[in-house]
Chains A and B, each alone.
Chain A
Amino acid sequence: MGSTPAQGTAHELDDHDDSDLLACMAMADDDPALARTAWEAYFRRNVEYLYRVCLRAYGGILGGEAGVADLVAEVFRAAYEDADKFDPAGITDPDRLRLRARAWLGWIARRLVQDTLRGRSRLPTRNVELGHWQQTPAVERPRAGASAREQAARQAVASLSEREQLVIRTTLQWYRPEKQYQRLPNDIAADLAKTLGTTPENLRQIRRRAMRKIADLLHDHAAEARKQGKSNG
């Protein structure tokens, strides 16, 4: 991956927004030194953010800090290789470009984790079997402005057993909001089951049971809310 630029030049690009940096990386064939410098500026600007969001999302799946560090490094290397695929979507506001560039990194991270869960990645899944799941602490502070239903869903998910949480957290890495059906494809279920040390049918059963639990809790919450609404007049 490219040649090492002169020392200290990465900071000269600090005033460039992330879209510009990615555009420089996309021209690595024409100017590898500039691409490398741009990558370093981009890396320094975003590594702490990406590491921290990946640690809380995937720390338990990837075996803690070391596994997440490997993932983050892979994400940034992938960002360099695929910099031409970043789409600024006509946005010119630097702050929005920053957010969009970080969202793109998140998308790359999820794809790499999907490969890992399917056993198709160099990143190891340490102790991810259903019997060895290590609970990663969830975000303690509820989101300000969250609807009552969202808060109820959050509580419902957090109330699942560790086994159910692991299945939900891994299978919903393939959640597609634009899809009407959320059934996990057979080949992905087979790979996930292998990674988690179980069978595809058992995986689906655990997922169905967990989703049913959540549905019941949300139904009870809604019924309670209606009852309170009636009693309050």
Chain B
Amino acid sequence: MVNKPSEPTPGNDDDQTLANDVNQAMASLGWRVPECEEDVRRAEEELTASVTALPASLGDAETVFTGKARAESADVKTPEFSPDVQAEQDLARAARQGAAIPPEIERRMRRDREAAEDALTPDEAESQEPTV
């Protein structure tokens, strides 16, 4: 039976060597962005073996320079609730008067909510659920 080394302890040379090994492994796996000339050159050689299309948001230098691409990112979809001015006024009035929400307003709110949820794909709808 091979004797295993003891648990690495802070400051232990083995611990430092292991960290170096793992760091190098991560670099070779492409899990670290190159930060030295040698690693950059190696990454360039590896990347020649494949082709990756640049996203449209990075295709326009002006957009990137001004930061507009970030504001217009459509990757995260959120439900859009159509503004209903009349409903908002009714709700505000009900809140001020302490009265119940009129049934017609309640039905309209429920209909708007269901329409917004239907607009999401099943995956997006699931992602909207709070995580534990």
Residues of A within 8 A of B (CB): 1-2, 4, 10, 36, 39-40, 43-44, 47-58, 63-67, 69-70, 72-74, 76-77, 80, 96, 99-100, 102-103, 106-107, 109-110, 122, 124, 126-127, 129, 131-132, 136, 138-139, 141-143, 146, 149-150, 153-154, 156-158, 168-169, 172-173, 175, 177, 180-183, 197, 208, 211-212, 214-216, 218-220, 223
CA separation between A190 and B11, bound complex, in Å? 22
Min CB–CB distance A48 → chain B (angstroms) = 6
| CB pair B28 A154 closer than 8 Å | yes
CA separation between A64 and B7, bound complex, in Å? 36
| CB pair A110 B70 closer than 8 Å | no
CA separation between A100 and B35, bound complex, in Å? 8
Is B34 an interface residue when CB atoms closer than 8 A count as contact?
yes
Q: Which residues of A contact B52 (CB under 8 A)?
A: 48, 51-52, 55
| CB pair B19 A175 closer than 8 Å | yes
Residues of B within 8 A of A (CB): 2, 4-5, 7-8, 10-11, 14-16, 18-26, 28-37, 39-44, 46-47, 49, 52, 54-55, 57-58, 61-62, 64-67, 69-70, 73, 75-76, 127, 131
B131 — nearest CB in chain A belongs to which residue?
A129
| CB pair A51 B40 closer than 8 Å | no
| CB pair A219 B30 closer than 8 Å | no
Most buried by A among B15, B30, B52: B30
